[in-house]
Structure 1
Amino acid sequence: MTVNGLHWSRGILVFALADVLMIALAWMVAFWLRFNFEMPDEYRAMALDTLPWAVGCMMIGLSLARVQRQAWRYVSLADVRQLAWGVLLGVLATVACVMVLRYPGFARSVFPIFGLLVLAMLAGARATWRSLAEKRHARSDSGQTALLIVGTLEEADQAMRTIKGTQGWHVVGIVSPQGQDVSQSLQNVKVVGTTLELGRIARDLNVRSVLLASPPGSQLRREVLLRWSGSELNLLSMPTAEHWLNVPATDLRRVELEDLLGRSPVVLDAGDLAEWLSGQTVMITGAGGSIGAELCRQVARFGVSHLVCADVSEAAIYTLEQELHMAHPEMQGHYFTANVREHERILAIANQFKPVVIFHAAAYKHVPLMEESNEIEALRTNVLGTLNVARVAGECGARRFVLVSTDKAVNPTSIMGASKRLAERVVQTMAAQYPSTEYVAVRFGNVLGSSGSVVPLFTSQIARGGPVTVTHPEIVRYFMTIPEAAQLVVQAGRLGQSGQIYVLDMGEPVKIVELARLLIRLSGRTETEVPIVFTGLRPGEKLFEEWLANDETTSATSHPQLRVVRQEAHTVATLDARSLQEWIVRLGAAPVPAVLRDGLHGYVPEYRPRGV
């Protein structure tokens, strides 16, 4: 490091010396121009006498503007503006010094000429140096990979600035969605065509790597991803902000499934959440599940002092313990095998640690599985389990309780959806019963990669050679990633007021058949090799998911992607929790399905089984 430091200091001195010589030359040339290259002897002497002052003052002005810190090889328009500011300061300082020295008959028009010459010389020298450096770099591009950039001119410009000068990539063309951009040039790189011609352009230029410069959630990114994934093109994306923390920002990544999302990713208010959770005790139920485990990861990184994790699965809680102990050795983690159906067990754990916040993620969520033969299990876990944990939150003095809910709770057509809607009402009931605890619920859609979601199913079907089973060609769903789902829950927990339900602005829905095609292409196969078969809607399944019931609206919150649900007053009426609990117990271990559904409809009037 010391050697590099010396080398860098020597480079600054060399460039500073070059600036000094150009400033001196500019001062003399300014006099020659002022007198039409026939400078009288007295003015020549005057120029030489004042030369040190002009050079010194100009160098002071440039130093004040920190021009010497500029890297000539990467000089930009912003650097030129900084240079102009330094030259202006230098000219003003020179004027002040020369006027103080009171040279008789000094030609004041020399000053503006001097400033313009210095700016032209210094900017020209930097631009020339950068051009030469880029040419040297271009000559060494033989070992680099040719790259096409897809995006608007603004997006391509930003991407090229980010990857310029890096090892491994050489931009050979820009592909724009706008036809009027074709044949224009950006940073010496030509716009070679439109996105509809991407395949032909790549073949003509013999390029296989394509960088998607459009942001996540943009329509252009989705179109290119759906059309060209799995082709001979290697689709790449700029790394995410979280990725930058671990690898160089210019390490382009392969496009991933979440790039299909019809919106920008969820962004946390990290500072506010750290202030809220740092040093606190947090309890999470269902901690071994895909959402619960990610909740644990998100909460742990905000510096909680104690994290209490509960799950009914011994294997899941053991795996979580090993992961969090390695990732956060300073955090006090407490791991329990516990069932949310058992009120006394959950209460004993909560009373031992007195959590400030409880996130309730324990639930049965597989729609077809809960629809037939397991209806009572959905009620016992999703409804009674929520009632138990919500009641515990009030009894142990927790400040906040957050329920993980689902879009399937809106106008439910399934047992699982109706049980989650009833769980939301349970939370609102507890909010009225325990006013010192803030109770909120969060609805979100399908989670990419979570257990029971279509992605693991499709992946396993593709691995077996197909077919990939899709229930209906027009079925659509809203999607988010596992980290996004957990972040949404944490953010809503911070913002929420007691009794409120929150939803995420999910953007555009995704057709499940498009998701299947994308996964097939990302696996390197075609739909001829792995066919897609439509099997028909399953029991309790909707064609389109909804976010709001007929009597619900939303309003904005301080977070741009979170909205709070506004409900009619009659729908927020509290339940008789004791009566609800007694009804579920009376149903027994194997209730008559029709009796269970009729009773559930009494608690959730909007529940309509599909086909009824």
Structure 2
Amino acid sequence: MQASKLVDPATWPRSVKKAIVFAVDVTLVPLSLFIAYALRLNTIEPHTYGQVSLLYFALVSAAGVPIIRLLRLNRLKLHAFDMHAIGRIALSSAALILAAVLISYVADLWAPRSVPFIFGVVFFTMAVFARLVGLLLFDLMHRLTGRSRTPVAIYGAGAAGLQLATALRQSREMRPVAFVDDNPALHGIIVGGTRVFSPDKLEELAASGRIERVLIAIPSLTAGQRETLKRRLDTLPCLVQTIPSYIDLIAGRNWVDDLKAISPDQLLDRANVDLDIPEVAKAYAGRCVMVTGAGGSIGSELCRQLVDCDPRRIVLFERSELALYEIERTLLPLAKEKGIEIATCLGSVIDRPTVDAVIERDDVDIIVHAAAYKHVPLIEGNELEGVRNNVIGTRIVAEAARLAGIERFILVSTDKAVRPTNVMGATKRLAEIVAHDAQRNSSGTRFAMVRFGNVLGSSGSVVPLFHEQIRRGGPVTVTHPEVTRYFMTIPEAARLVLLAGAYSEGDDLFVLDMGAPVKIVELARRMIKLANMTVRDADNPGGDIEIVFCGLRPGEKLYEELLIDDDSLIQTPHEKILRACEAGLSEIEVAAMLKQVGEALDKRDTHAVRKILQRYVTGYGTVSSTATG
């Protein structure tokens, strides 16, 4: 292995390579002058001609050394041998001609007038030829030492393809052996020293081993056209890759990643609800506010908006170390400007001693309970932890708030809690029932609940998923063509929570009027359009991104609802915020439910957990068209 490294010029130091090229160029100077005399005097032994001076040879050769060094001929890379390099050699040849003429006149040494010019032409020709031979030897030694480059075909014989071929000729890994292009007029011609083939020849080229890879270099293709071409070429017995052009790379663009950012506001089929109300700041000014789940999508936005309400202190309660670090790092500069204290607590809502200790230590006035497991498919397969965190966690924080005489407790809930068909929604409904029960036993603390629709841009929502699928060139996956959801933005959701705390009179449920529900497939179409692409379907087979229906997931509903009982709605000071008072379980039923949940968790009995959800949550476990789709 060491021997092969000595032979392979790719492993030689750059200084060694420059010294070899310099020695070759210096040697070519007297050799070119000798050939010039031989051509002029018409003899292969010009040194026998009496007037030929060895001193002239010596002086011209000596002059060639500084000329070659000053013009840096030895720094021209073999693999980058182009018109610039040829121009540098031509300039060196001109300088040698001038030196030969001056030496002849100044030193009064005889030389026919045409010899210096013949000398320059010969040097130019031999210097170019020497570099071409060197390049061939380089490739040959590459192969002899087992470092042969991968033969590739470049799909696209345009400017981008030519750029790529030029770059590959300078690389150690690949060598272009063929161009492929859809234009019949180019088939069979030579472009940049490489033949252009029809795409029909790719199978033959790959099967015979003449190519081992196909590189697509057509930057004008749309994402959909590129994906269609790649799928067609994936049947070849070789690797297929898409390569960006140099212009794209220099501009910092990537064909796949170059999607403009889509604001969640652009996806709402309605105007944003103005929730900027002075009463909000008054409700939190001078208080200590504890936010559980402070590092989540909603929790972090809540914390940012709380800064504008001038609280005395914000307590960040979070179980994820990374999420807690990020929200603290974000909040500290903002809070410092306003003189607001930031306290952090790394802990879980199911840890009662920690919750009690934080409430006492920081003298908490208001708790916003945003900590929850919310991803429907994950909780469907992890029902024990879903119940433990969402139900028991809410019970622990609510009970701690009640016993500590907290001023207000706001629970962040979801529209999936209304007649739920999945475990996550059922656990959130039980969390609402727990908060309702806590209010029943409290004389001082005001308990409120806020029920969200889908929050655009939050973790696990369809917006990041669709954006990632569009970035990859599709397809965008939608569970069912008729699935609809209510949507709101993260700032709307956070503001609604803060408003709930300001408006709460105790045992309140707040919802936001979010207009008509939106079809998920229409949301997907809107995102594709905002990404400057088109949907590929039967009506538009040449489109960019395909939408594929993959079927409803376990527990997923076609339609979501905001309220169990629409008749219980009451107006609030804000026309877009509604208050409801929904009936829950009796005190005895809540106690029984919590006892049964505790026993099921202790036994890790998933079957018992689902039985409890069916018994105490209206709608859970029933079979309906909305659940089966």
Q: Is residue 401 from structure 1 mapped to residue 409 from structure 2 by the alignment?
A: yes
Matched residue, 1:14: none
Deviation string 1:239-289 (CA, Å, 9 cap, x unpaired) is xxxxxxxxxxxxxx9984423424332223532122221111100000000
| Equivalence map 1:588-603=2 (5 Å) | 588=601, 591-603=604-616
| Equivalent residue number for residue 361 of structure 1 | 370
Alignment of 1:494-509 (within 5 A): 494-509=502-517
Aligned to 1:540: 555
Give 2:581's match in structure 1, choosing from 536, 549, 566.
566
Q: Give yes or no for the alignment of 1:304 onto 2:304.
A: no
For residues 605 and 475 of structure 1, what CA distance do their matches in structure 2 show?
22
Flag the structure with larger Rg.
Answer: 2
Give the superposition deviation at 1:576: 5.2
Matched ranges for 1:479-494 at <5 A: 479-494=487-502
2:322 equivalent in structure 1: 315
Q: Please state whether the residue corresponding to 1:531 is helix, strand or coil.
A: strand
Aligned counterpart in structure 2 of residue 586 of structure 1, from 588, 599, 616:
599
The 8 Å contact of residues 541 and 610 in structure 1, kept in 2 or not, is answered as no
Distance in 2 of aligned mates of 1:478 and 1:399: 31
Which of 340, 364, 371 lines up with 1:331 in the alignment? 340
SS of residue paired to 2:275? coil
Cα shift at 1:451: 0.5
CA distance in 2, matches of 1:526, 1:395: 57
Tell me the equivalent position of 1:553. 568
Q: Secondary structure at the match of 1:440?
A: strand
SS in 2 for 1:567: coil
Q: Which of 424, 429, 442 pairs up with 1:421?
A: 429
Alignment of 1:453 with 2:468, yes or no, is no
Post-superposition offset of 1:380: 0.4
- Is the CA contact 1:401–1:439 (under 8 Å) kept in the aligned structure 2? yes
Taking a change above 3 Å as real, the CA distance of residues 425 and 472 of structure 1, as seen in their structure-2 partners, is: same
CA, structure 1 residues 367+386, in 2 after alignment: closer, same or farther (shift >3 Å)? same
Q: Distance in 2 between matches of 1:319 and 1:335?
A: 11
Which residue of the partner structure matches residue 210 of structure 2? none
Counterpart of 1:345 in structure 2 is 354
Q: 3-state DSSP class of the match of 1:538? A: coil
Q: Paired residue for 1:103?
A: none
> Aligned equivalents of 1:323 and 1:279: distance in 2?
21
Structure 1 residue 506: Cα displacement: 1.0
Task: Map 1:29-108 onto structure 2 (within 5 A).
Answer: none
1:145-544 matched pairs, under 5 angstroms: 256-329=263-336, 330-372=339-381, 374-527=382-535, 528-544=543-559
Using the size of structure 2 for normalisation, the TM-score is 0.55
Shift of 1:552: 5.1
Deviates more, 1:259-268 or 1:298-307: 259-268
Q: CA deviation at 1:594?
A: 3.3
How far apart in 2 are the matches of 1:356 and 1:531? Answer: 51
> Judging changes above 3 Å, is the alpha-carbon distance between structure 1 residues 439 and 534 closer, same or farther for their aligned structure 2 residues?
same
Shift of 1:377: 1.0
**Which whole-Å deviations, capped at 9, do the CAs of 1:88-113 have from their partners, x for residues lacking one?**
xxxxxxxxxxxxxxxxxxxxxxxxxx
Gaps of at least 5 residues in structure 1 are 1-252
| In 2, Cα distance between equivalents of 1:577 and 1:349 | 27
Question: 1: CA distance between counterparts of 2:267 and 2:527?
Answer: 11
Conserved 8 A contact 2:311-2:340: yes
SS of the residue aligned with 2:450? strand
Q: Deviations over 1:190-218 (max 9, x none)?
A: xxxxxxxxxxxxxxxxxxxxxxxxxxxxx
Q: Is the contact made by 2:290 and 2:316 (CA closer than 8 Å) also made in structure 1?
A: yes
Once residues 478 and 487 of structure 2 are traced to their aligned partners in structure 1, the CA distance between those partners, rounded to angstroms, is 16
Q: Distance in 2 between matches of 1:421 and 1:362?
A: 15
- In 2, distance between residues paired with 1:284 and 1:575? 30
Q: Deviations over 1:162-212 (max 9, x none)?
A: xxxxxxxxxxxxxxxxxxxxxxxxxxxxxxxxxxxxxxxxxxxxxxxxxxx
Amino acid at match of 1:370: I
Amino acid at match of 1:544: Y
> Against the structure 1 CA distance between its residues 371 and 589, is the aligned structure 2 distance closer, same or farther, given a 3 Å change threshold?
farther
Distance 1:309 1:575 in 2: 34
1:414–1:610: 8 Å Cα contact kept in structure 2?
no
**Map 1:107-118 → 2, pairs under 5 A:** none
Deviates more, 1:545-554 or 1:327-336: 545-554
**1:478–1:445: structure 2 CA closer, same or farther, 3 Å change rule?**
same
Shift of 1:426: 0.3
How much does 1:608 deviate?
Answer: 2.9
Residues 339 and 610 of structure 1, relative CA distance in 2, 3 Å threshold? farther
Using the TM superposition, name which of 264-273 and 443-452 deviates more: 264-273
C-alpha separation between the residues in 1 aligned to 2:386 and 2:261? Answer: 39
Structure 1 Cα separation of the partners of residues 357 and 592 of structure 2:
24
Question: Residue 588 of structure 1 aligns to a residue in which SS?
Answer: helix
Q: Distance in 1 between matches of 2:262 and 2:617?
A: 42
Alpha-carbon separation, structure 1, partners of 2:548 and 2:512: 32
Alpha-carbon offset, residue 328 of structure 1: 1.9
- Partner amino acid for 2:572? T
The RMSD of aligned alpha carbons is: 2.0
CA contact (8 A) 2:571 2:579 kept: yes
Name 1:71's counterpart in structure 2.
none
Residue 575 of structure 1 deviates from its aligned partner by 5.1
Percent identity of paired positions between Structure 1 and Structure 2: 45
Distance 2:512 2:413 in 1: 12
Deviations 1:533-576 (A, max 9, x none): 001111111101011215753121111111111335xx453355
